[in-house]
Amino acid sequence: MNLKFKKQNLKNGYVTLVLMIIVGTLTAGIVFTVMSDSINSSQIGLTFSQTYKARSYGNACAEKALYRIHNGDITASESNGITFDSNNHCTYDAVISGGNVTIDIEGVSGRANVTQNITGTLSSRNITIISWN
């Protein structure tokens, strides 16, 4: 009788061990999935933030180009930019031809890159913006 009891306990212990391994594996899988989703969400937030900054940096270059055109510092064409730090900068290419103004802008923040284009007309240093995309 005593021997049968020990064999039954061994079988129960084996079943318990297998169940613990299965439950532990499932728990680890769930934890990994949740952590992976959290990392993806963080990366999406970072990308959105960098894109917003890149657009803002591009706007800074646009304002600089418009200011220089208004002051008469650009009469035909100019390529210039602003460096904010090693990962954040903007550039612009401004062209004035026959009273028409075209400014191509690029803003960069980290890995995000945003391009914009401004078209307008120039008359006596007054700039009329037709489109800003």
Which residues does 107 contact at the CB level (< 8 Å), separation at least 6? 53, 54, 55, 56, 57, 58, 59, 60, 61, 89, 90, 113, 114, 115, 116
* CATH for 12: 3.30.1300
- Least-confidence region, from 7-11, 62-66, 89-93, 122-126: 7-11
Mean pLDDT of all residues in 88-115: 95
Considering only CA atoms, which of 64, 61, 51 is closest in space to residue 105? 61
Structural domain that includes position 19: 2-132
Contact present, 87 and 109 (Cβ < 8 Å)? yes
pLDDT reported for residue 1: 47
> C-alpha distances in angstroms, 109 versus 60, 64, 115?
13, 18, 12
Query: Across all residues in the chain, what is the average pLDDT?
Result: 84
Considering only CA atoms, which of 116, 80, 122, 85 is closest in space to residue 100? 122
Q: How many folded domains does the chain comprise?
A: 1
pLDDT above 90 for 46: no
